[in-house]
Amino acid sequence: SPLLSWSPPSLTGWRRPWIHPSGRLGSPVPPLQQTLNMYLKCTSHLITEEQLKKTKAIVEKFGAPGGMGEFLQKKLLERSEHTANWVYDYWLEDMYLSNRLALPVNSSPVMVFPKQNFRSQSDTLRFAAHLISGVLEYKSLIDGRALPVDYARGQLAGTPLCMDQYNKVFTSYRLPGPKTDTLVAQKSTVMPEPEHIIVACKNQFFVLDVVINFRRLNEKDLYTQLERIRKMSDIEEERLPPIGLLTSDDRTQWAEARSMLIKDSTNRDSIDMIERCLCLVCLDEPSGTELTDTNRALLMLHGGGTDKNGGNRWYDKPMQFVIGADGSCGVVCEHSPFEGIVLVQCTEYLLRYMRGSPSKLVRAASMSELPAPRQLHWKCSADIQTFLTSSADKLQRLVKNLDMNVSKFTGYGKEFIKKQKMSPDAYVQVALQFTFYRCHGCLVPTYESASIRRFQEGRVDNIRSSTPEALAFVKAMDVEKMELLWTAIKAQTNYTILAITGMAIDNHLLGLREIAKELKLEKPELFSDTTYATSIHFILSTSQVPTTEEMFCCYGPVVPNGYGACYNPQTDHIIFCVSSFCDSAETSSDLFVKTLEGCLKEMQDLCTKCNTEAKPADSTKRKDGTTKVMKNGSNVHKCLKNMSHCKC
């Protein structure tokens, strides 16, 4: 079929995208036929022949001249002329705001800091005060537009990236709704109220003003206030129900509970203070567990449940800095306002700041008298108590259900992969496909996030890593595996370039689907077809989150029978954080990690073997600049320019 013979198009000839007043380009709208061809290519090997035949007919009808596809494409192009980013609102609602699942595990990623060695409560509070000082310094850089511009890394490196997401780090809030949430962005006024953070301690919430009488508190003052909060939290008579548990519930349930809470003015005032804070600092009690990498990841993801620190959170706020008395520290991130790289940049700044970077806060003389921090109060009706009981039960089930494995693969790292002239990210993605195939005997729709911050208000699109080329490689046994590995790597790299340049299929298909809904048209058959439902059920959800500091990112699966696989390639090792659910009979994080280590070793052996066989002494130079390599008794003609096999 000509629809299956798709190859990467030239990136020239795009329709001129909308130009933002700042001069940055908005996302392009890919050509319709290109997306439809790629859609079939991405799904053809994941469905049955019978289903493929049906889907081909649906796609051809949708893309026919004068058909529904052309009409919707025209409307998308019109939308792109009048908005900064035609897909942003559609994507935000589809990816996050309309999702009704609970935020912990299902949506909110975490960054796990190096384990700290706190010898006393004073050490913990000093760490917290130092961290808060770093947060205030970082916020001042954002407010003053003094952050250095981010530039793309990896494929097409060097392109400046949109910085809009940083403005939401400390000024946004995810407001729960009965059917869809709202991402609220705070707007400064002429006379803003004093800035404050919320400190959670023993499931209680306290207001810590960080600006008093127009002066930012120094670390000594912050330490004094944190000490006061700690003492206030010890007064058992003042302890109130763990209201934070309500934010761990599914979004519709939490929206209903919140509506009931704010009927009382005391509760309304307390919620208002939390929703307008810069961030949360959660002072956690010791967990009583061995602080392995895996256990620290679990404590960040869900707090350990109601019997540990599960209620010491407020999940709607984008940044929750967790500081455990036992040294388990990190950040819980509400993901709707910004992407992982923004979280990485912020947390790396904080870790460097706390280690004593040149950019230190200038300490002023301490105030002799500081107004005491304020505890937030709640009035809980019988109905609210019922909600709390339900939320606690569901969180406990989530805690018991999460199957997590954080593993450091020490066989090699990105340095070895680069020596093979391969992209480390593409290599790891092919390894993940290889692993899934070994575990389950098939490939499945796979999500890999690709930043499109090259464009104004750009968030992410999806790199569909389960390519036909990857399938050919993982199925190979007694054939030329190295050739197939190169082909799979090249396919993954090509798709990555398409995604980061705004030419992948997922955002485009989403836009076509949503603009039909917006125009109140009947849902096109393309989007009610079983293949489409299968194609967006991402059993394998992956993301590369590299760091330059000693920390790692992790998250939960996005479907009940799936895996979450976050990886952090370093020079001589790779950190993998693999998650799944215990109640799925199809998945096992431990088995996946064990198999992954074996697959990575096999790929290393394959590369080493082929490089050994293709020694310079075994090759002869041709006049056309290529090399004839003698390999296993056969001639392999390898192009020196791009390492791909030519057809000369």
- Residues carrying an active site annotation: 335
Tokens of 18: 């909308």
Which of helix, strand or coil describes residue 237? helix
For residue 549, the SS3 value is: coil
Residue of 318, 282, 288 lying closest to 300 (CA atoms): 282
How many angstroms separate the Cα of 86 from the Cα of each of 81, 92, 354, 578?
Answer: 8, 11, 40, 33
Residues 198, 181: Cα–Cα separation, whole Å: 22
Distance CA 111, CA 106 (A): 15
Nearest to 511 by CA among 10, 80, 58: 80
Count the neighbouring beta carbons within 10 Å of the beta carbon of residue 372: 11
CA distance 437 to 599: 10
Q: Residue 248: which H helix or E strand, with range?
A: none
DSSP-based three-state secondary structure for 269: helix
- Tally: H helices and E strands in the chain: 19, 21
Q: Supply 526's token pair.
A: 């393309």
Amino acid at 13: G
Element at 588 (helix H, strand E): none
Burial of residue 236, with CB atoms counted within 10 A of its CB: 0-12 exposed, 13-18 middle, 19 or more buried: exposed
Going along 119-178, which residue ranges are E strands? 172-175
